[in-house]
A and B are shown apart, each in its own frame.
Chain A
């Protein structure tokens, strides 16, 4: 009987307090027991007290270290599946200390699917992997191979994943990232434009900070749950569209001796930032990661003359979405996100006040043409403006890590082509001089 009570203490997976209550009858009447019994109880007591204190000392331990059969039962945990690693890292709290918690990876629809959705439509997403972060916050996520992913892959095989972390105190983290499975990179999912010549594939590694508070349930709208055969489905719903949001796709600095051109060819890849907010209110959105996607049209930007410092832009439709989570058999609002949902393909530009610093210069002859396919991606941290009448978020664009964006210079007179960090063929940014 007492053995059973000890088992109860060890097996209880949610509350140290409840464990102590279960053990308490055995402990409270120790004076009436034999010496052997008292010895056993002496062992039991600190265990029970420890069980009581565990949730106080390690707030996430109770939730994160014990399996919860109600948490996405249709998905196998990452430590139970094999296959390439998707993402690894550390789950931390607001102070940067590792915390235990639940991590879920969700696949989002392709841009082609998202582009057809209207306000009020639900967005079919799918959880595809889950893992528990240990007390030090370390985690590793793999995709459950039994989950169908094909419908979430774009033409290049790339998928927009979203990693959500939930600490025991309810605070959460959201991180989006596009990834592609490549048979040549057997051990890891890779960046959408990775190829074997770029070296061994490396698993994406992040520090995931749980700094988004959970909305009180009473503030969360609760729609009727949509139920499928196995579990409640709480898909996101589109709240609003914001058309023609401008994002930077490239830049040209022709200098005094050259003309220059920029092409954003169909199939070019831009990784665009997206934002998340617990309340969805104006100005509350913070960067939540990136989504991928390729251009579906070639954009021809006009040749620019000498001494031009031009920043080229294109445009996307962004959409505000309400993201739900399941709670006690119903869907309640978890957060809001503003995401790219369509490539609008307009062409815009503005002229920069100054060119970036570029001091690694190579001499070029008059009559010479140079072409550079964008190598190292340039991140424009405020590249997309989703501010007007919308959510108050400036999101990043990252363009040009494939070979479909190119910059071209024609040296009319002898001059220099200068790289920002090294010589022009491998420089991140290049300026004509």
Chain B
């Protein structure tokens, strides 16, 4: 009887530990994966309110011998933009940083980020991320202050924020 009570107690204790760990973020993605740790880079462009454009940035190379599988990519610190979508491209370095056209941009082959693979020992520009944005405020530039990437690598989940920015100002400024 005592043994049974002890067993139940242990199970309950383990469950509580799991719940506490989950609540405290123990199982949340790690930072500092193979795509993290880069310094800032930014693009500034000029476009009128209501104009749609695509912003493309080449993701960091995967210098490891293990594939990186993308779970999601999202802009961080969005201000003065309507975000129309996020896609990735494998068209290489020919993708232009800003495309003042539509989104998805014509002439660029794109897929959804989820499940995209940045292969082991990848070549430069192996994977671009493209954001579709439309300026929404006349009084201030549109801004994106970073790019959050969630991905799987080596059996673990990672989340890194690249300090890469977009600023779109009023033409003539």
Which A positions have Cβ atoms within 8 angstroms of B?
196-200, 360-365, 367-375, 401-403, 406, 419, 421-426
Contact = CB atoms under 8 A, between A and B. Distances in A.
B37 A197 contact: yes
A419 to B, nearest CB: 7
B43 A370 contact: yes
Given A199-B37, A360-B93, A363-B96, A369 B124 contact: no
Given A197-B161, A362-B97, A423-B124, A373 B39 contact: yes
A90 to B, nearest CB: 26
Interface string B90-105: 0001111110100000
B164 interface: yes
B41 A373 contact: yes
Contacts, number: 100
Contacts of A422: 60-61, 124
Given A197-B32, A369-B44, A425-B57, 17 more contacts: A198-B36, A198-B37, A361-B93, A362-B125, A364-B97, A368-B98, A370-B97, A371-B40, A372-B39, A374-B39, A375-B39, A375-B41, A419-B124, A423-B61, A425-B41, A425-B60, A426-B61
A199 B36 contact: yes
Interface string B14-41: 0000000000000000011100111111
Contacts of A426: 38, 41, 60-61
Given A197-B31, A197-B32, A425 B58 contact: yes
B31 A371 contact: no
B50 interface: no
Contacts of A371: 40-44, 165
B152 interface: no
A182 to B, nearest CB: 13
A368 B60 CA distance: 21
Given A367-B46, A425-B164, A199 B93 contact: no
B58 A369 contact: no
Contacts of B163: 373, 403
Given A362-B58, A422-B124, A369 B45 contact: yes
A360 B124 contact: yes
A30 B90 CA distance: 87
A13 to B, nearest CB: 46
Nearest to B162: A425
Contact of B97 (A363, A373, A403, A421): A363
Nearest to B100: A365
B142 to A, nearest CB: 14
Contacts of A199: 32-33, 36-37
Contacts of B100: 365
B38 A425 contact: yes
A425 B37 CA distance: 12
Interface string B125-137: 1000000000000
A345 to B, nearest CB: 23
Contacts of B93: 360-363, 423
5 contacts: A368-B44, A373-B41, A401-B39, A422-B61, A424-B58
Contacts of A200: 32
A197 B36 contact: yes
A381 B103 CA distance: 46
A245 B57 CA distance: 39
B40 A403 contact: yes
